[in-house]
Amino acid sequence: MDQKKRWLVLSVLVIALLGCSIPSNLSRLMVLTPAPTATPTAIPTATPAPTLSPETAPISPGGIEGLEQEFIQVYEKAGPGVVNITNRSYAYDFFFRPVPQEGTGSGIVYDQEGHIITNYHVIEGAEELYVTLPDETTVEAKVVGADPSNDLAVLKVEADPDLLHPIPLGESKNLRVGQFVVAIGNPFGFERTLTVGVISALGRVIQSPDDRFIGEIIQTDAAINPGNSGGPLLDLSGRVIGVNTAIFSPSQASAGIGFAVPVDTVRRVVPELIARGYYPHPWLGINMAWSLTPERRQILEEVGMEVPVDQGLLIMEVAPDGPAARAGLRGGQQRVRIGNRILLIGGDILTAIDGQPIATDQDLLRYLDTQTTVGQTVQLTIWRDNQERTISVTLGERPR
């Protein structure tokens, strides 16, 4: 027996002794290296999944259908109370021929007497105004009152009361971030379009059409586009919680950041617009003020003014015979150049109203507009001659 056959017989005997089977197609000897023995590892005990409360549990299919039904009901309830507003003005061509120019916005039916709530910027500069009702009837409208500082206006139309469907007003003081909201309006002229989102933030401040500030603004991610202005922002009960007024967007279309004037402001302003034609804004009578910061404090001290606080409003000028002047507040008496500005220094420093800190003129205007009324007496905390004082001031009406 040659050497090759001996090795084959020996291999067969070894495999047989080990109880292994021989592959039927064995053509060459294969040496197998045993796999290393694995160290046993304990299997972790599974932690039971937490039981979710109804508030945190995922929405069941039935819950989704229920939410969907709520959106549908809001649209069916409030949709007929949303109108389309056309603002028409005229320009003139080279030959002095009138060329009509139009813009569109939205409005909210306020009552069956024909009052329509919208934004001031929707009707600004209009020579003619028209309102299109849900049945496609178009009627001429006139301006009853307007308030650029809150970007609100009220129109009046003569129409069959049966065609007017007022939308109830809710409240905005108890709103919460994350709450579902619905916007209805006429974006790009597409009438009564519904979009859905949530309240993204509360208490925002935006600039008004007259370069002042509107406070307590509602921010939402519900899609708002040109043409939505003046339309309602609604809760899931179909009540108005805000009037859509502006967007923040580099493209001038919805970028998920929209703003609405809160309905508590609407409740305060609209009745005055209907009764007076304007809203009487509370006025303190401070014409000029400069917001203090630690850096500005250092600059002022370098020019010789003692500044005992890092935050507040340096009063530079008070209106002659205005509320602040009558109460004894002092403006600046010394002119100094700081950078490219001429400032009046040496006046009182306002730090709080009724105990609420005031750091900027924005804070001042927002507090006056949202928390006070004409004729109300407020307590001002000021610093004068390195002493803190409290002065009572009765608010007047801001000159129009």
Given the residues 106, 115, 121, 208, the one annotated as active site: 121
Give the list of residues 6+ apart from residue 200 with CB closer than 8 angstroms, or none: 177, 219, 220, 221, 256, 257
Q: In the chain, what are the domains?
A: 80-163 (2.40.10.10), 180-276 (2.40.10.10), 282-397 (2.30.42.10)
Q: Which of 328, 361, 371, 331 is nearest to 347 (CA)?
A: 331
Cα gap 205→230, rounded to integer Å? 18
Q: What letter does residue 155 receive in the DSSP assignment? A: E
The one catalytic residue among 151, 221, 348, 369: 151
Binned at pLDDT 50, 70 and 90, residue 102 comes out as confident
Residue 124 pLDDT greater than 70, yes or no: yes
- Extract the tokens encoding 61: 């299919």
**Which residues does residue 218 pair with via DSSP β-bridges, in sequence order?**
260
208 is catalytic: no
What digits encode the pLDDT tens for the residues 333-370? Answer: 899 988 888 889 999 999 999 999 999 988 999 899 99
> Residue 141: exposed, middle, or buried by beta-carbon count in 10 A (0-12, 13-18, 19+)?
buried
Instruction: Supply the pLDDT for residue 62.
Output: 56
Q: Two tokens at 227?
A: 């043409």
* pLDDT value, residue 2: 52
Q: What integer best gives the mean pLDDT of the chain?
A: 85
* Res 189: pLDDT: 84
| Global confidence as pTM | 0.78
151 is catalytic: yes
Query: For 155-213, how does the pLDDT look when each residue is reduced to its tens digit (9 = 90+)?
Result: 999 999 999 999 999 999 999 999 999 999 999 888 889 999 999 999 998 989 988 88
Residue 341, pLDDT score: 85
Residue, of 36 and 246, whose pLDDT is higher:
246
Residue from 149, 208, 229, 254 carrying the catalytic annotation:
229
pLDDT in tens, 20-64: 433 333 333 333 323 333 333 333 333 444 444 444 444 444 577
Q: What is the pLDDT of residues 288-308, one digit of tens each?
A: 999 999 999 999 998 888 899
